[in-house]
């Protein structure tokens, strides 16, 4: 069974540097329902100040293992 995960992702600059701010908005049974959530949220506080491109819909399959082969951590060093 496929589901559609709706994220809101944008670049945040603060006292600690620059990083991605990522929110999982919800998991939906159809892409149309995820699009409906975007329509519902796009004019709400916080969301309205950022581009609609910050919303991302990712299709995934229930009961499927991701990262099957593991992962490698990458550490970035700030230039001085």
Q: Is the pLDDT of residue 57 over 70?
A: yes
The CA distance from 10 to 71, in Å, is: 23
Q: Is the pLDDT of residue 52 over 90?
A: yes
* pLDDT the model gives residue 80: 58
DSSP 9: E
* pLDDT the model gives residue 76: 73
Each residue's pLDDT tens digit, 4-14: 999 999 998 88
pTM of this structure: 0.81
Q: Is the pLDDT of residue 16 over 70?
A: yes
* pLDDT the model gives residue 78: 65
């Amino acid at each position: 069974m496929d589901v559609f995960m709706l994220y809101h992702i944008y670049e945040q600059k603060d006292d600690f540097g620059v990083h991605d701010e990522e929110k999982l908005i919800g998991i939906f049974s159809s892409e149309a329902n995820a699009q409906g959530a975007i329509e519902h949220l796009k004019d709400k506080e916080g969301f309205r100040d950022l581009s609609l491109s910050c919303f991302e819909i990712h299709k995934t399959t229930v009961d499927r293992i991701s990262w099957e082969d593991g992962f490698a951590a990458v550490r970035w060093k700030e230039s001085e």
